Structures are given as C-alpha cells and as structure tokens.
C-alpha cells in the first residue's frame, strides 16, 4: 500500500477501506507521509466526502493514534462537552467551573482557533502564566483534587487530529462533516469521558450553515459516541450572530469572568444553562433539567463558580491578579467606534463577517504557525433585537493600530442590518438530539 494509490482513489471519489485509512493516519502521525500529501488527501475528502463506514474508521484510527486517558481510578462519571465552533463562543470557560462547583468533575481538552471560530485554548492562553500543556499526571491530579482541569491538545491524545486540525485550518478545509465529526469524536473518546454533550452550532458563523447540515453532523457524532459506549447528546445552537458581546481572546476572558460574577448576556446564559443541564443529567446529578439550571444559577449567585474558576487558574499557574483586576489585562492599542446611520432595531448581525474581521485583526490564525494578538477583537454594543438610534455606537473595533481598525470599519458596519420594525429576541437553542 502507498499514499499515492490512496490519494488517487479519493481524488476519484472512491471509498477508502479500513486498512487504507489506518495507513494514512499512522503514516501522517509518524511523519512518513508528508504535509503536502496529507493536505492533498484532506482536500480530496473535503471535496468528495466520506460514507459512514469511512468516518467511523477514520475516527477509530485517529483515536488509536495516541494515548487514551483512563479516569476510572479517580471518578465514576466524567462528562465532557465540545462545540463544533462559533464566533464569540466562550461557553466552556464559563460552564466548566459551574459544573465543577456542583461537584461534577470536569476534565477538558480544548482546541486552538480553527478558521473564523475562536479556540478556548487561545482564550485561556491569554491569561498570563496559564499553563495549558501540563502532563497527563497533573491533569488527572487536578481533576481529582480540585474537580477541574482545562488543557489543550498537548498530551499525546489523538495526535493525528492535532496535525490534521492545524493543516485543515491552513488549507481551507474546516467545513467538512467527515473531518469535523472524526476530529471531535476521536478527541472525546481518547480523553476518557463517560458521556459527551456536543454544542452543534448552526448558521453562517458555524461550519454547519443550516439546520439540515447541523442535524446530519449531530446524528453522525451521536452515532459514533454511542458506538464507542459513550452516551452523547447534541444541543443545536444558532450561530447566525456571534455569542455574547465580545469576540477576541482577552475580551472574551473578561466577559466570561463577568458572567461568573452574575453579569449575564441572555444568549450566553441560555446556551450555558442548556448544555450544562444536559451534562449534569448525564453525570447522574438529576434528570430534571430545570432543577439543574436552578442549581447552576445558585453557584453563580453564591460565588462558588467564580471561586472554582479562580482555583483552576491558580492551579494551572495563571496570574490571579488579572482575574481579580480585569483592568490589568493588556489593552488593544487602538479602539474605533462604529456608529449607526439610522434609527431602528438590529435585524441581523452577521457572524461570518465578524469572525473574518476578528481573524483579520489578529485574534485568530491564517497560517498554522501564525501567532495571535490576544488584545484585539470586537465589542458588539448592539445585538439582534436591540433598539438603536442614528449616531449611536453599534460596535467597537479593538485593533493593534489605527490603520488596521480603519481597514475593517466598513466590514463591521456592513455586518449590521437595521430595520424600522421591532425585532424580537430569539432563543439561540434550536433543538436537542
Ligand atoms: N472542533 C474540533 O475539535 N474539530 C473540528 O473539526 C471542529 C471543531
């Protein structure tokens, strides 16, 4: 078997068998298959797709490409969550300490930004000192002792996904159902969770552009999870507009801390409570979702969730003085307000445009080796359904220079549509699968 024959097959739309998929994953992980050959195969998969059997084989091969964590010695039931990615998605940073504060351990491995969607790992890395690359022993020790650990994909878990994930980002192959589902599920299975809740985002700021695609992705991942013996629930959420008020790494860390202090944005609150209530149910906390939501609000209101976040940051060597005093975070060099030119109600706030602007400003990567500017991003002063007056600020661009801010100003302005008619708030929760 050789990689050229495999490439030839997929290029011509012929299905790959288990051995061929294993050959590719093994070869790319150990470096005998080059980046350019892998890029060609990934592009062929992206264009020609994969059938269900190929996707299952790809997921298993990626899971087996590295270590698997076994938590059975420290906890009976670890529930994991993952998002298919969104603009302004800070749900993990808020949710993990809430769930942990309720006595349910959280052990989560998060990715770096992919395409226009931000990555939880990049956001946590913007807290000075926060160590995302701890050993497997430390990861387990933190979960055992304080009930929480959030790391990135530094452990040897699904290393094939780590390489393919970075490659996909730099060859415009992020939006492929076979590649997204195998990427997410290989990581989740390798990282030892007993059950999984998936936030399947849907809309123009997500990989799944409509509900039909989101359902297809959700059903596939649910099937893979169940076949691996890990009950999986999918929450479909809207990504037509960014989640919350801020997009950008430091900006979203600050917004997350504010949330844990009880300063909620309604859309973020709905997504956090819905996903969290399902995680708690799968962990055996209670099957009553409303009760779970009340309990989550309780640990926010009594400060226990924020305390847990502080414990997490401290344990992973982050500088707590930044969390106690959010003003201490480095600020963007230049802030440019964008004004409305009419009275009315925001009827659209295009997540795709905002995601592209945030990457353009430097909050995400264009090439996999690019470094990130943690300070830059956007503040969305008005969101869909908000009333707005002519001359009022609708957004602020946080940029590294005046030139950069001006370069993106018309794009940010055009991301907003304002109508004369009242626009009602719409819940971001679409359905549960
Ligand atoms: N999250 C992942 O881990 N992988 C993807 O492909 C998309 C989102």
> Can you tell me which residue has the tokens 């600050």?
254
Entry pTM: 0.93
d(C-alpha 364, C-alpha 355), whole Å: 9
Contact 250, 330 (CB under 8 A): yes
**How far is the centre of ligand 1, averaged over its atoms, from the C-alpha of 205 (Å)?**
14
Q: Among 108, 114, 161, which is best to mutate for testing ligand 1, by the most ligand atoms less than 8 A from CB? A: 114
Look at residue 231 in the predicted model and tell me its pLDDT.
95
Look at residue 151 in the predicted model and tell me its pLDDT.
92
d(C-alpha 192, C-alpha 72), whole Å: 9
CB within 8 Å of 280: residues ≥ 6 apart = 79, 99, 102, 104, 286, 292, 295, 296
**How far is the centre of ligand 1, averaged over its atoms, from the C-alpha of 185 (Å)?**
9
**How far is the centre of ligand 1, averaged over its atoms, from the C-alpha of 305 (Å)?**
27
Q: Which CATH architecture has domain 3-49?
A: Up-down Bundle (1.20)
pLDDT in tens, 72-120: 988 888 899 999 989 999 999 999 999 999 999 999 988 787 777 778 9
Look at residue 77 in the predicted model and tell me its pLDDT.
86
Contact 129, 319 (CB under 8 A): yes
**Which atom of ligand 1 lies at the shortest distance from residue 117's CA?**
8
**Which atom of ligand 1 lies at the shortest distance from residue 168's CA?**
6
d(C-alpha 192, C-alpha 80), whole Å: 9
**Which atom of ligand 1 lies at the shortest distance from residue 207's CA?**
7
Q: State which H helix or E strand residue 196 sits in.
A: strand 195-202
Residue nearest to ligand 1 atom 3, measured at CA: 184
> Can you tell me which residue has the tokens 């020609």?
48
Residue nearest to ligand 1 atom 8, measured at CA: 84
Residue nearest to ligand 1 atom 2, measured at CA: 184
**How far is the centre of ligand 1, averaged over its atoms, from the C-alpha of 308 (Å)?**
26
State the average pLDDT for the chain. Answer: 95
pLDDT in tens, 135-175: 989 999 999 999 999 998 777 889 999 899 889 988 999 88
Predicted confidence band of residue 255 (pLDDT cuts 50, 70, 90): very high
At the topology level, CATH places domain 79-324 in: Pyrimidine Nucleoside Phosphorylase; Chain A, domain 2 (3.40.1030)
Domain ranges of the chain: 3-49, 79-324, 330-419
Q: How far from chain centre, in Å, is Cα 191?
A: 16
* Token pair for 432: 């549960």
* Token pair for 207: 């990989």
Which residues line ligand 1 at a C-beta cut-off of 6 Å? 84-85, 111, 114, 165, 179-180, 183-184, 187
Q: Report the catalytic residues.
A: 82, 161, 168, 183, 187
**How far is the centre of ligand 1, averaged over its atoms, from the C-alpha of 91 (Å)?**
15
In the chain, DSSP finds a helix count (H) and a strand count (E) of 17, 13
At the topology level, CATH places domain 330-419 in: Aldehyde Oxidoreductase; domain 3 (3.90.1170)
- The sign of the dihedral angle between the CA atoms of 84, 89, 90, 95 is negative
Look at residue 365 in the predicted model and tell me its pLDDT.
81
Residue nearest to ligand 1 atom 1, measured at CA: 84
Tell me the average pLDDT across 425-429. 97
Burial 264-288 (b: 16+ CB within 10 A, else e): bbebbbbbbbbbbbbbbbbbebeee
**How far is the centre of ligand 1, averaged over its atoms, from the C-alpha of 63 (Å)?**
14
pLDDT in tens, 387-413: 999 999 999 999 999 999 999 999 999
Q: Among 85, 163, 189, which is best to mutate for testing ligand 1, by the most ligand atoms less than 8 A from CB? A: 85
Q: Among 113, 165, 355, which is best to mutate for testing ligand 1, by the most ligand atoms less than 8 A from CB? A: 165
Residue nearest to ligand 1 atom 6, measured at CA: 180
Neighbours of 216 (CB within 10 A): 14
**How far is the centre of ligand 1, averaged over its atoms, from the C-alpha of 100 (Å)?**
24
Predicted confidence band of residue 371 (pLDDT cuts 50, 70, 90): confident
């Amino acid at each position: 078997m050789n990689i050229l024959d495999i490439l030839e097959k997929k290029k011509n739309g012929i299905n790959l068998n288990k051995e061929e998929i294993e050959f590719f994953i093994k070869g790319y992980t150990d470096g005998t298959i080059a980046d350019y050959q892998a890029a060609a195969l990934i592009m062929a998969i992206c264009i020609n797709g994969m059938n269900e059997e190929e996707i299952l084989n790809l997921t298993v091969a990626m899971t087996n490409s590295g270590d698997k964590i076994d938590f059975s010695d420290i906890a009976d039931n670890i529930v994991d969550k993952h998002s298919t990615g969104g603009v302004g998605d800070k749900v993990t940073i808020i949710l993990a300490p809430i769930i942990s504060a309720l006595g349910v351990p959280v052990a989560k491995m998060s990715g770096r930004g992919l395409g226009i969607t931000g990555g939880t790992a990049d956001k946590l890395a913007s807290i000075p000192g926060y160590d995302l690359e701890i050993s497997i022993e430390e990861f387990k020790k933190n979960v055992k002792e304080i009930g929480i650990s959030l790391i990135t994909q530094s452990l040897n878990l699904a290393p094939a996904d780590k390489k393919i994930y970075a490659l996909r980002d730099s060859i415009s192959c992020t939006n492929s159902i076979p590649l997204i589902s195998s990427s997410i599920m290989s990581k989740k299975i390798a990282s030892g969770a007993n059950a999984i809740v998936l936030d399947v985002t849907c809309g123009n700021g997500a990989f799944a552009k409509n509900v039909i695609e989101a359902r297809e992705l959700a059903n596939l991942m649910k099937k893979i999870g169940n076949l691996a013996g890990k009950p999986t629930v999918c929450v479909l959420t809207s990504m037509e507009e960014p989640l919350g008020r801020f997009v950008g790494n430091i900006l979203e860390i600050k917004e997350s801390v504010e949330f844990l202090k009880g300063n909620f944005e309604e859309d973020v609150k709905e997504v956090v409570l819905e996903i969290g209530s399902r995680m708690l149910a799968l962990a055996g906390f209670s099957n009553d979702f409303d009760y779970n939501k009340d309990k989550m609000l309780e640990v926010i209101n009594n400060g226990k969730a924020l305390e847990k976040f502080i414990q997490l940051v401290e344990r992973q060597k982050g500088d707590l003085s930044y969390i106690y005093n959010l003003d201490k975070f480095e600020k963007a060099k230049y802030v440019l307000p964008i004004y409305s030119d009419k009275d009315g109600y925001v009827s659209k706030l295009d997540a795709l445009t905002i995601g592209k602007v945030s990457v353009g400003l430097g909050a995400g990567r264009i090439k996999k080796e690019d470094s990130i500017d943690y300070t830059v991003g956007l503040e969305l002063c008005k969101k869909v359904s908000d009333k707005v007056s002519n001359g009022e600020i609708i957004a602020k661009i946080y940029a590294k220079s005046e030139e950069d801010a001006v370069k993106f100003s018309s794009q940010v302005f055009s991301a907003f549509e304002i109508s004369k008619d009242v626009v009602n708030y719409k819940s971001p929760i679409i359905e549960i699968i």
